Amino acid sequence: DAMVIQNPRYQVTQFGKPVTLSCSQTLNHNVMYWYQQKSSQAPKLLFHYYDKDFNNEADTPDNFQSRRPNTSFCFLDIRSPGLGDAAMYLCATSRDHRGHVFGPGTRLTVT
Amino acid sequence: GQQLNQSPQSMFIQEGEDVSMNCTSSSIFNTWLWYKQDPGEGPVLLIALYKAGELTSNGRLTAQFGITRKDSFLNISASIPSDVGIYFCAGGYSGGGADGLTFGKGTHLIIQP
């Protein structure tokens, strides 16, 4: 089945230690997004790639970076995680912003 | 920035009852999506709406894209225990552009036996 895959499902990192979350898709969608969802809150868009074009939301901290080496993969890098970065990170894909499909998420814990 | 007001925040209903929730926006969207999220999982798309006035059904679920493009509702008929979860509305722009989805704060559906 075509899908969005996120690895790992659970990630524990130490305060200030860089961490990378990964996302892959078999849908051949041209747009890939990263959302942050804190407990009991709605998902919040961090940034997205429209094909190879990177689009950053204005209020996304510089601590968050992303890479998309090819159509299928997208990475979220957190350069120096703080306690406030503990959250669920959701990857999503779409074809020209139609029919967003979400992955299962990676829950990040910062110790 | 854009804001979506989703209501109600939570609903306590009996199994078999119908459910209705809605979202309103201060801005126009050309896409309205409804998702259900279970604990520890990603949102699952229920219904996607792409045209003002569009009314779409998916089994017991029905959703409409408001004619003003600033609102949408979701109805669930004859609720069952597996309907429990958090329902999110989301507004977006399809066909290109710089934005992803803006989400409402969610409606927490609780079904009492």
Q: What are the pLDDT digits (tens) for B60-109?
A: 999 999 999 999 999 999 999 999 999 999 998 765 444 688 899 999 99
**B-chain residues within 8 Å CB-CB of A43?**
43, 88, 101, 103
Chain A interface includes B72 (CB < 8 A): no
Residue A41 φ/ψ, nearest 5 degrees: -125, 170
Measured on CA atoms in the order A104, A37, A40, B90, is the torsion positive or negative?
Answer: negative
CA distance B93 to B30: 5
Per-residue pLDDT reduced to its tens digit, A42-56: 999 999 999 999 999
Q: Whole-number mean pLDDT of chain A?
A: 94
Q: What SS3 class is residue B3?
A: coil
Query: Is the bond preceding A8 in cis, omega lying within 30 degrees of 0?
Result: yes
- pLDDT band for A73, please (50, 70, 90 cuts): very high
Interface of A with B in 36-65 (CB under 8 A): 41-45, 48, 50, 55
Answer yes or no: are the C-beta atoms of B89 and B33 closer than 8 Å. yes
Q: Do A43 and B103 touch (CB under 8 A)?
A: yes
**A-chain residues within 8 Å CB-CB of B40?**
105, 107
Dihedral-angle region of residue A79 (phi above 0 means left; psi in -120 to 50 means alpha; beta otherwise): alpha
- pLDDT band for A58, please (50, 70, 90 cuts): confident
**A-chain residues within 8 Å CB-CB of B31?**
97-98
- For A77, residues 6+ apart whose C-beta sits below 8 A from its C-beta are A18, A19, A20, A64, A65, A66, A67
Nearest beta carbon to residue B41 from set A33, A98, A105: A105
**A-chain residues within 8 Å CB-CB of B100?**
33, 35, 45, 48, 92, 97, 100
Interface of B with A in 1-30 (CB under 8 A): none
**B-chain residues within 8 Å CB-CB of A42?**
88, 103-106
CA distance A28 to B32: 22
Q: Whole-number mean pLDDT of chain B?
A: 91
Q: Other CB atoms closer than 10 Å to residue B65's CB: what's the count?
A: 24
Take residue B102 and report the two structure tokens written for it.
């803006």
pLDDT of residue A35: 96
- pLDDT band for B2, please (50, 70, 90 cuts): low
- For A65, residues 6+ apart whose C-beta sits below 8 A from its C-beta are A76, A77, A78, A79
Alpha-helical (H) ranges within chain B are none
Nearest beta carbon to residue A98 from set B35, B43, B94: B94
Work out the average pLDDT over A61-83. 97
Take residue B18 and report the two structure tokens written for it.
């119908």
